[in-house]
Amino acid sequence: MGLTRYFERRNLKHSGEPGDDAKEYDAPIFVIHEHKASNHHFDFRLECDGVLKSWAVPKGLSTDPREKRLAVQTEDHPLAYASFEGVIPEGEYGAGPVLLWDEGPFDNATRQEGRPVTLTRALEDGFAEIRLHGHKLCGGYVLKKFDSAEGDDKWLIIKKADDEADARRNPVSTEPQSVKSGRKIDELKEQDQ
């Protein structure tokens, strides 16, 4: 039976009890929401300092290190938003369906002059290296801020050339299902509106 029942009966985040891999529960989380608002995009969010730092990524994240994806930083979101999936009603900000496209823990792997730095510091300095442990996306990614002359909110997000890099994959188009509900974004709209 293993630990299945142990985990089924508990929410370890609330109970404070140990899991079988403490790191998995200690690590901060990332989420990617697919958001079909007036423009279709993906919202990439990283837990940092008790909030979700957020970027709108028009094309979504790539698994190909040659693909540099534009990421426009948006407002921080509350941590509780991490599990959100649903349809934002017409007339509201960001109206349209929001699908939980990927989620998981991540590690901050940013170093400056050979020394590890906090994610807070890394983001302030405009360069962060993270390692995702998601359902669809894994391995290293770099977030790099544009020079401020080009706009303070513009970043690039680029896959690192590591074992998880795969130029043949295109999960944005081939893996559209929600990791929460298994639904696709238009199915969400049909059922919730």
Tell me which residues touch Mn ion (CB under 5 A).
Answer: 35, 43
Q: Which CB sits closer to Mn ion, 99 or 137?
A: 99
Minimum CB distance to Mn ion, residue 133 (Å)? 23
Q: Cβ-closest residue to Mn ion?
A: 35
Closest contact distance (angstroms) between CB of 179 and Mn ion is 17
Which C-beta is closer to Mn ion: that of 30 or that of 129?
A: 30
Q: How would DSSP label each residue in 25-41?
A: HHS-EEEEEEEESSSEE
Q: Which of 92, 91, 94, 62 is nearest to 75 (CA)?
A: 94
| DSSP SS3 for 79 | helix
* Between 43 and 102, CB nearer to Mn ion: 43
DSSP 151: -
Residues contacting residue 12 through CB under 8 Å, at least 6 positions apart: 18, 19, 25
Residue 41 Cβ vs Mn ion, minimum distance, rounded to whole Å: 6
Which of residues 138 and 188 has its CB atom nearest to Mn ion in the complex? Answer: 188
Q: Quote the CA–CA distance of 159 and 66 in Å, as a whole number.
A: 8
Q: How far is the CB of 55 from Mn ion (least distance, A)?
A: 10
State in angstroms the smallest separation of the CB of 98 from Mn ion: 7
Nearer to Mn ion, 34 or 47 (CB): 34
The least CB distance from residue 73 to Mn ion, in Å, is 12
C-beta atoms surrounding 5 within 10 Å:
9
Buried b (16+ CB within 10 A) or exposed e, 107-142: ebbbeeeeeebebeebbeeeebbbbbbbebbbbbbb
Query: Which ranges of 95-184 would DSSP assign to H, the alpha helix?
Result: 119-124, 171-174
Q: Which is nearer to Mn ion, 94 or 116 (CB)?
A: 94
